[in-house]
Structure formats: C-alpha cells, structure tokens
Amino acid sequence: MAIKRTRNVTMTDVASHSGVSRTTVSFVLSNRENANIPDSTRRRVLEAVDALGYRPNAGAQALAAQKSDWYGLITEIVTAPFAVDIIKGVQDKAWDERKFVLIASSEGDQAMETAAIEKLLEQRVEGLIYATTWHRAVTLPPAALEVPTVLINCFDPEDRFPCVVPDEEIGGYRATKRLLDAGHSRIAFINLDPAMPAAIGRRAGYDRAHAEAGVTVDPDLVVYGHALADGGYDAAAALLDSASPPTAFFCGNDRMAMGAYDAVKEHGLRIPQDIAMVGFDNQEIISQFLRPRLTTVALPFEQMGAVGVTMLADLIAGAPLRTNRMLIDCPLLERASV
C-alpha cells in the first residue's frame, strides 16, 4: 500500500521552480490570450508542472473565479434502474459543456433531500437538476429556488421550475397503433394506477389510436393492475378467462408484461402467434431476455437527462426557454412479441 503523499504542490511552487512569477504560471495554465507568453517560457512552466506533479486546487479556483463548473443532481438512487440512465445522460452532456456533476441521492426522504440540496448549494453548484424515477408531481424544498433548477421526469404543480417529461400519450399511441396495424381489434390495456400521469397519458394515446383506426374501445378490456409481475399475471389471467378474451395485450410496464407472459403460456397460448404483447419502459433486463423478446415502448431517460442539462445551461445563461415543459418522444422498440 505505497501511498505517494505528494505535499500539496501549488502554483507558487511551479513558479519558483521555473523561475517566473505565479501570475505567469496562471496565465500559461489558463491559456490566456493577449498575455504575450513566448514559447520558451511556456515550455519551462509546463515542464515544471509536469516535474512537480502540480494539480490545480478546484476549491481555490472556484473561490477566486467566483464560479464552480459544477451542476448538482439530486435523484432517487435506491429505486435503481432508471436513475442510472438519467445520470448517464446528464453526466455526458455536462461533460460536453465542460461541467461536472455532483450527484446526491435523496432516497425519497424529505429531510435527507433537503440536506442534500443544502450541501450542493454550499458547494456553490451553478444549477440544480432534480430527477425522479417515475413520472409525477413533486414539491421541492424551498432552497431549490435559490439557484437555477430543472426537473427531469417530474414537474412542479405550480410551474415554478422548467421540466423535461416523457410524452406518455405518444408512447401509448405508438404501442396501440402497432397492435392495431398487426390486425388486432381486441386489445387489452393493463394500465398503471389511473391517478398517475403515465397512466393518464398512455390511456389517451390508446384511445386516440383506436379512434384514428375507427375501432371502438371495449371498456372491459381496460383494467388497472398492481404494477408488478403478479399484477400483470392476475390481470392477464382474468382477461384470458373472460367470455370474450383479447388477442393482444398492452401492458403499463415491462414487469407486468413479464407476469402476463406467464399467464399466456399457462393458458397454452403462444406469443406472438396467438397473443401479441407490448410493454412499456424498456427495462432491458426484462425486455431483452423474455422469450420471445418483448416489443416495448422506451422511456428515453438518457435523452431526458441530456435535454435537462441543455435547459439548465440556457436557464443559467439567462437565455429564453422554448418551453417550460419539454416533452420527450417515447419510441416503440420492435422485438418479437407482436
């Protein structure tokens, strides 16, 4: 465990080592124009930087320059899978803008969340991104008002913060249209809790697709399931046992589709020959590995993260936002279950 504890090398060290003033070192390192640094000097400085292993002190830089180059990201990291894609989208995009992302997890706990925001503000982040794992309304701690803030996958009921949310309606529309196009007319919709924005939007898309196709929606085919595999299983089994069963299922999420698969198989039916199935979320570990692989609608979290960063940058720059509520398209991913 040999730890090379380099004494903290500062610009002053670099300066004396290369025989110039600290100011000159600063000019060289910040590539300042109009500074008239001849190449010979520049080289001497850079060599000293290398030789001494100089590393700028970000805190001191931020203090002197009065800016931090950091964005803060608050997210529910426990509820796992989706948060990761948002983080990735945010981080990559931020990197493009030479910004870094300070991640704090909220764990759903309100007190901890407030503490996290405080900590980020103490780091003097230039802006805040608040992301949730499921589409919903949120109420942020008041501290968030102190700094430019963008919401991802959630929205402020009072509209004080701009947000990026998935276009649930188009997702529901795409899924349903795909099934209608495949010739199905009895399409069951195992939706999420009807109070959720996701459920409302997707239902609207389901209805619109039917309307455009001139097919009447049978209200008995639209049910609400517990949002896990069991919920999908139960709902699908009940529908298959009904007097006039559906020939296709549109499931509110991939987990329910996973349960529905089991119900279909246990009824001795084959996917997609006898029953077609479309999911939602594109939770890869499920949709990629179900047999047959599941056709589903993607929630483009990574893209949402990237768009969020762009909006935040505009907000910080004081640029006008095109919209306070950015809708992100949800594409259909064709696999093998239709």
Interface positions with a copy of itself (CB under 8 A) = 1-6, 53, 55-60, 62-63, 68, 77-78, 80-81, 83-85, 87-88, 91, 100, 102-103, 105, 107, 118-119, 121-124, 145-149, 160-162, 228-230, 233, 255, 258-259, 262, 265, 283, 285-286, 288-289, 291, 315, 321, 324
Taking the complex as a whole, the smallest distance from the CB of residue 310 to DNA amounts, in Å, to 25
Q: Which of a copy of itself, DNA, none has residue 243 at its interface (CB below 5 to 8 Å by kind)?
A: none
Nearer to a copy of itself by Cβ, of 151 and 179: the residue is: 151
Please, which residue, 67 or 291, has the CB nearer to DNA? 67
Scanning residues 46 to 105, which ones bind DNA (CB under 7 A)?
A: 54, 56-57, 60-61, 63-66
In whole angstroms, give the CA distance from residue 109 to residue 46: 48
CB of 124 to DNA, least distance (A): 9
Looking at beta carbons only, is 145 or 211 nearer to a copy of itself? 145
35 binds, among a copy of itself, DNA, none (CB under 5 to 8 A by kind): DNA
Two structure tokens written together for 326: 């950015």
Alpha-carbon gap, residue 269 to 275, rounded angstroms: 7
Helix then strand then coil, in percent of the chain rounded to 5, is 45, 20, 35
- Classify 115 in phi/psi space as left (phi over 0), alpha (psi -120 to 50) or beta: alpha
Least spacing, CB of residue 95 vs a copy of itself, in Å: 8
Between CA 100 and CA 95 the distance in angstroms is: 6
140, two tokens: 């942020």
292-330 residues labelled b (16+ CB within 10 A) or e (exposed): eebbbbbbbbbbbbbbbbbbbbbbeeeeeeeeeebebeb
Q: Looking at beta carbons only, is 208 or 272 nearer to a copy of itself? A: 272
